[in-house]
Structure 1
Amino acid sequence: MSDLTQLLRRDLPASIVVFLIAIPLSLGIAAASGAPLFAGLVAAVVGGVVAGALGGAPLQVSGPAAGLTVIVAGAVADFGFAGTAAIVAVAGLVQILLGASRLGRAALALSPAVVHGMLAGIGLVIALSQVHVLLGGAPQSSAWHNLRDLPAQIATHHGLSAGLGLLTIAILILWPRLVRISLLPAALVAVVSVTVLAHVTGADVARVRLPDEPLAELVTPVWPDAPLRQITVAVLTIALVASVESLLSAVAVDRMHDGPRANLNRELVAQGTANTVSGLLGGLPVTGVIVRSSTNVAAGARTRASAIMHGVWVAGFVLLCAGLLERIPMAVLAAVLIVVGLRLVSLAQIRTYARHRELPTYLVTALGVVAVDLLTGVALGMVTAAVLILWRLTRCEIRTVQRAPGQWLVTISGTLAFIESARLAREFAALPEGEEVDVELHLDYLDHGAFETIRDWREAYQKAGGQVRIREVHDSWFSRATSGRLGEAKSTPRLLGSWSRWQSLDLQRRDAMAAGIAEFERTVAPLVRPHLATLARDGQRPEQLFITCADSRVVPNLITGSGPGDLFCVRNVGNLVPAHGRSSGDASVGAAIEYAVDVLGVTTITVCGHSGCGAVRALISGAAAPGSSLGDWLALAGTEFTDPADEERCCTDNVLQQLANLRTHPVVRAAEAAGRLRLTGMYFDLAEARMYEVDPLLGAHRPVHTPAA
């Protein structure tokens, strides 16, 4: 698809959908912030054009955000709007410095529970204030005062504006459930339909007021007449909250599409530039907005052109059709903001944080924002998160189970530090004397004090006639402490190392596999059993066919970080794919390819070679005797080496040839032509433990993953 065709078919329709959402939200956020309504539209235009053109997240849409409403309202109350505009411009410069310093990722170090708790608190503050507007009253100075006065506001007589607001809320809630048309977003339908109703009935209600000559009414920023410390706090608050919200939105949008990934530092510079421009033009602060961004992706946008055009449409509509906007009742905008605010309190997020035991952080942050102010709420949330981390770091799980008469199992998991020594000693003291005790350690850390507690108890228990066996899973903290090497680098985790890494040589000679199976069933099976049970019930749906060598040093699931159900594997000597019709009596590879493509519906086939491949060496040297099974098999490779002296290049040449052989299979050709299948070549360097992608044109290889600088 050409760039122009993509623009017309994808980005143009998406930009119109986002534009239709942006208009009512921008007006409502400005109203809730106590700013001129026109300031919200200025921010929408600047966010779309400036942040859209410069941003590092092409599909993210920027504009005024509900998450900054409380902060801006406080700034307007303290400094006036002209002073707030100056603060926004300076906050943008701070964001540019953060992005230029490559601190984009650092902003994501803030606990998501704190961020989402902050947004939930802001959402409640917005909803509490706008309920008063919807009911015909005026919002109070704080969330507490709004909550205190709400019963009296509800009890008073309400005019037609309250009815229009309630009707707007009903449409916003019911429309997405009844109508599945993405081109007609609920916010647009609600605002337009209720506004038309108010106009037709001649309702005497407060409506939007915009300047007659918008360009002549742009607010000129004025440096606030306030203490520098107060101004600095406001600047940093807007800069940091806007940055975190934009970056979290960019990361979330990345998960919604398969296009280019976000460059967070570039995105931060773009957001800062947009805020500086918006402030200088008298607009609200700008952030990446997840509501508009997710709509943009869902509407089919493919490039940044959609975000830019949406800003252009907003500007054109304001300049040419401002009269239509002035027909919108203020109660309708209040209703939109009530729904937006309450949706910032996500029940799904609350359940997630409850499962991950981070709900206290979320709740403390949200309640702090509502009860005191935003900075206090965030500070309380961060303190709560730090306390929970410290508590977890000093806690471990100790379980004691009697497996049979006279046999006990003590399982210790997590971090075992000296602070747990007293509890550990109590658990050991409760064991009957003179019996067999297995102590199983699943530790991510063991300090010397806790080590001495275990060691001293073992010695005393054995002297009293008991037997103690200590087993370590995943790591060897206790063994290293016993040999005086506790501070040394970690050894290979048991489940990642080979038998020789953790079994005695005598055990290997007897039956290493049986011991390995026993280890799996004892330590790993309980963890993977629920997932395997699901696969057993629902069947396999692997994402790709992975063809690699039978070499014992190549472990597909280990080097790809995959698990049960992810890879449909074919392994043979030399990772060969015989060309279609040249199976030499062995059709197993062809059968696997047909099954993977036609039955399983894999979307990728990967051929993975590796360094030091014995099959490639045999092909280079001609060591495989003609007529032998190995010789007959390697003859199917069809590989011609460009540089036989370069073994690494020969391995990658072999991968490319097998990809060519793959394309001789009809099912592969048909699926690839239909766009349902992608072929890739990989090369695994054993010594580096690193995977490379093989360039199909040059035969050279480059790292699949390049660590960030």
Structure 2
Amino acid sequence: MSDLTQFLRRDLPASIVVFLIAIPLSLGIAAASGAPLLAGLVAAVVGGIVAGALGGAPLQVSGPAAGLTVIVAGTVADFGFAGTAAIVAVAGLVQIALGVSRLGRAALALSPAVVHGMLAGIGLVIALSQVHVMLGGAPQSSAWRNMLDLPGQIAGHHSVTTLLGLGTVAILIFWPRLVKASLLPAALVAVVSMTALATAIGADVTRVQLPDEPLAELIRPTWPDAPMREITVAVLTIAIVASVESLLSAVAVDKLHDGPRANLNRELIGQGAANTVSGMLGGLPVTGVIVRSSTNVAAGARTRGSAILHGVWIAAFVLLFAGLMETIPMGVLAAVLIVVGLRLISLAQIRTYTRHRELPTYVVTAAGVVLTDLLTGVALGMITAAIMILWRLTRSEIRLVEQAPGDWLVTISGTLSFVESARLSKELGNLPPGAHVEVELHLDYLDHGAFETIKDWKSGYERTGGSVRIREVHDSWFHQATAGRLGDGKRTPRLIGSWSRWQNMDQQARGAMEAGIAEFERSVAPLVRPELADLARDGQRPQQLFITCADSRLVPNMITASGPGDLFCVRNIGNIVPPYGAGDTSVGAAIEYAVDVLGIDRITVCGHSGCGAVRALMNDAAGSTGSSLGPSLTGWLAQSGVRFGDLGDEERCCTDNVYQQLINLRTYPTVRAAEAAGRLRLSGMFFDLTEARMYAVDPIRGEAHPISAKSAV
């Protein structure tokens, strides 16, 4: 597909969808910030064109963001809007300096729980203020006052503004569930339909007001008449929060597409340039916005052309159709902001932080933002995160289980330091004397004080007639300390070794498979259980179909560093894909299920070195006689269709086989249709067992090239 064709088919329609969403959001955010409505539109135009052209995240869409509403409102109250515009312009220069200094990733060092807690708090502040506007009143000066006054506002008499607002909320909630048309976003439908209703009934409500000559009435930035310390705090606050929000959004957008990854330092420079221009033109601060960006990706955008063009559409609309925007009731925009604000409080994130025991950080940050101010809330969140880290670093989990009369298992996991010595001694002291005790250590760290505690207890317990066996999983802190070299040694992780290597671990009381299962349930199951529970509840959503050989030396999830739910695997002798319509249909069934039902976007055929199936095919091609292969295996291999270029090069024959199976894949109608629609891509790989290195198979020549730069060294 040519660049022009891709632009017309993908980026142009996507830009229109994003433009339709950006108009109501930009107006609403400006209103909630206490800024001129034109400032929100200026920021949307500049964010689209400047950040879109210069940023490092091609599919990210920038503009005024709800996450900065509280900060901007406070800045406007302190310095006036002309002063705020100057502060925004300087904040952009700070962002450029951060990007030039290559500190893009440093901004991501802030705990995600703090960032999302901050956004949740901001969302609640926005909702609490805008609900007063939707109910026909006026917001108070703080979230706390808004909460106190809300019951009276709800009980009071309301005008048609409230009905228009409630109708807007209803459309925003139910429209996406009822209609899947991407060209009709819920925000646009809600604003247009409620505006039309207000006009039809002649409602006497407050509406949007824009300058008659937008270009002539742009607000010029003016340096604030305030102490430099206060100005510096405002500049750094906007620069840091805008940077973090933009970079988090860029990272999130990367997960939504298969295109080029974001260059975070360049993205900072682009965002800084956009903020400087926006401030100079009298606009709001600009950030990357996940709502508009995810919509951009979902609408089919492939390049930065979509983000840039959406800014052009907004500029044209403001200059040519400002009168239409002035028919929009302010209560409708308030309702849009209420829904946007509440959606910043993500239940999925709350569940995630609960599972990872970071909910206190999230809650403290959100509550701090609501009850105090943004900087205090973030500071409280960071302090909470630091306390949680220190608490985790000094805590371990100790469990005592009686497996049989006189037979005890003690499991100690986490970090074991001298701080835990007293609790450890107390727990071990609860064991009855004279028993057989197996101590299983799952440790990230063991210091000398805790080591001495275990060692002294072991010696004392064995003197009273008991027996103690120390067993370590994943690392060998205790045994290294016993040998006098704590922290020096290395060992193969238990789950990488084969069964035969680890049979003696359980004193050969069980078979190799049973020992492996017991090891999984003991050491791995607790780690993967939450992920597997989610997959069991939500169903599988694999990213790709992985067709590879049944060879026992090849472990797909290990060589791709993937986990449960990532790969939909098909394994057979020789990683063969019989052509469509051949006798065997099992592989074809898997292909159709993966593409048509699971909606995977990639099929990979992976061969490997030393493949017995390829050797059998090579012998057959060389005219060898006396083959001992059975009829079923002979018939199966005959479906490969492979033609070897050089029978003297076994590795090349293995890649020839992978190349041929890619050709066979394209004989399937479902594969051809999905590939033609741009929903599916095919790739070939070759794994060298000796080198433990993966190669990509060239789809044109069939040659193998190292996948990673490190592999090529």
Q: TM-score range by the shorter chain?
A: 0.7 to 0.9
Aligned-residue sequence identity (percent) comes to: 68
> Corresponding residue for 1:301?
301
1:112-154, Cα deviation, whole Å (9 max, x unpaired): 2111111111112112222333333332222223233334444
Q: Residue 701 of structure 1 aligns to which amino acid in structure 2?
A: H
> Corresponding residue for 2:434?
434
> Corresponding residue for 2:45?
45
Change (3 A) 1:551 1:177: closer
Q: Residue 305 of structure 2 aligns to which amino acid in structure 1?
A: A
* CA deviation after TM superposition for structure 1 residue 470, in Å: 1.6
Q: Residue 472 of structure 2 aligns to which amino acid in structure 1?
A: E
> Which shifted more, 39-48 or 439-448?
439-448
Mapped pair 1:468 → 2:468? yes
> Which shifted more, 234-243 or 102-111?
102-111
1:53-109, Cα deviation, whole Å (9 max, x unpaired): 222222221111111011111111122111111111111111122222332222222
> Corresponding residue for 2:404?
404
Q: Secondary structure at the match of 1:397?
A: strand
> Corresponding residue for 2:220?
220
The answer on whether the counterparts of 1:607 and 1:655 sit within 8 Å (CA) in structure 2 is no
1:645-695, Cα deviation, whole Å (9 max, x unpaired): xx8xx62x2333102432564775555433457543324355664423233
The answer on whether the counterparts of 2:117 and 2:362 sit within 8 Å (CA) in structure 1 is yes
Q: Distance in 1 between matches of 2:111 and 2:533?
A: 32
Change (3 A) 1:373 1:461: same
Q: Among 580, 589, 597, which residue is 2:591 paired with?
A: 597
Q: Where does the alignment leave 5 or more consecutive residues of structure 2 unmatched?
A: none
Q: Where does the alignment leave 5 or more consecutive residues of structure 1 unmatched?
A: none
Mapped pair 1:695 → 2:702? no
Q: Secondary structure at the match of 1:217?
A: coil
Pairwise mapping of residues 247-286 of structure 1 onto structure 2 (< 5 A)? 247-286=247-286
TM-score by length of 1: 0.87
Q: Secondary structure at the match of 1:215?
A: coil
Q: Distance in 2 between matches of 1:291 and 1:376?
A: 27
Q: Distance in 1 between matches of 2:539 and 2:417?
A: 43
Pairwise mapping of residues 620-631 of structure 1 onto structure 2 (< 5 A)? 627=626, 629=628
Q: Secondary structure at the match of 1:226?
A: coil
* CA deviation after TM superposition for structure 1 residue 475, in Å: 1.8
* CA deviation after TM superposition for structure 1 residue 564, in Å: 6.1
Q: Distance in 1 between matches of 2:251 and 2:89?
A: 25
The answer on whether the counterparts of 2:11 and 2:301 sit within 8 Å (CA) in structure 1 is yes
Q: Distance in 1 between matches of 2:270 and 2:240?
A: 14
Q: Residue 656 of structure 1 aligns to which amino acid in structure 2?
A: T
Q: Distance in 2 between matches of 1:373 and 1:266?
A: 31
Mapped pair 1:654 → 2:653? yes
Q: Distance in 2 between matches of 1:600 and 1:23?
A: 39
The answer on whether the counterparts of 2:24 and 2:188 sit within 8 Å (CA) in structure 1 is yes
Q: Distance in 2 between matches of 1:221 and 1:184?
A: 37
Q: Distance in 2 between matches of 1:576 and 1:682?
A: 11
> Which shifted more, 665-674 or 427-436?
665-674
Pairwise mapping of residues 319-398 of structure 1 onto structure 2 (< 5 A)? 319-398=319-398
Pairwise mapping of residues 285-684 of structure 1 onto structure 2 (< 5 A)? 285-498=285-498, 515-516=515-516, 518-520=518-520, 522-524=522-524, 531=532, 543-548=544-549, 550=551, 552=553, 554-563=554-563, 566=567, 568-570=569-571, 575=574, 577=576, 593-594=587-588, 596-598=590-592, 603-610=602-609, 627=626, 629=628, 638-641=643-646, 651=651, 653-662=652-661, 665=664, 668=667, 670=669, 672-675=671-674, 678-684=681-687
* CA deviation after TM superposition for structure 1 residue 279, in Å: 0.8
Q: Distance in 2 between matches of 1:156 and 1:405?
A: 71
1:598-627, Cα deviation, whole Å (9 max, x unpaired): 56658524223249999889979x999863
* CA deviation after TM superposition for structure 1 residue 377, in Å: 0.3
Aligned-residue Cα RMSD (Å) equals 3.8
* CA deviation after TM superposition for structure 1 residue 341, in Å: 1.6
The answer on whether the counterparts of 1:412 and 1:442 sit within 8 Å (CA) in structure 2 is yes
Change (3 A) 1:521 1:176: closer
The answer on whether the counterparts of 2:85 and 2:282 sit within 8 Å (CA) in structure 1 is yes
The answer on whether the counterparts of 2:662 and 2:684 sit within 8 Å (CA) in structure 1 is no
> Which shifted more, 259-268 or 26-35?
259-268
* CA deviation after TM superposition for structure 1 residue 525, in Å: 6.1
Q: Distance in 1 between matches of 2:163 and 2:576?
A: 71
Q: Residue 568 of structure 1 aligns to which amino acid in structure 2?
A: C
TM-score by length of 2: 0.87
The answer on whether the counterparts of 2:655 and 2:686 sit within 8 Å (CA) in structure 1 is no
The answer on whether the counterparts of 2:577 and 2:665 sit within 8 Å (CA) in structure 1 is no
Q: Distance in 2 between matches of 1:307 and 1:326?
A: 25
Q: Distance in 2 between matches of 1:542 and 1:47?
A: 32
Aligned residues: 691
Q: Secondary structure at the match of 2:644?
A: coil
The answer on whether the counterparts of 2:59 and 2:293 sit within 8 Å (CA) in structure 1 is yes
1:469-527, Cα deviation, whole Å (9 max, x unpaired): 12212222222222122121542211123457656599689976665455446545676
Q: Distance in 1 between matches of 2:329 and 2:208?
A: 6
* CA deviation after TM superposition for structure 1 residue 321, in Å: 1.1
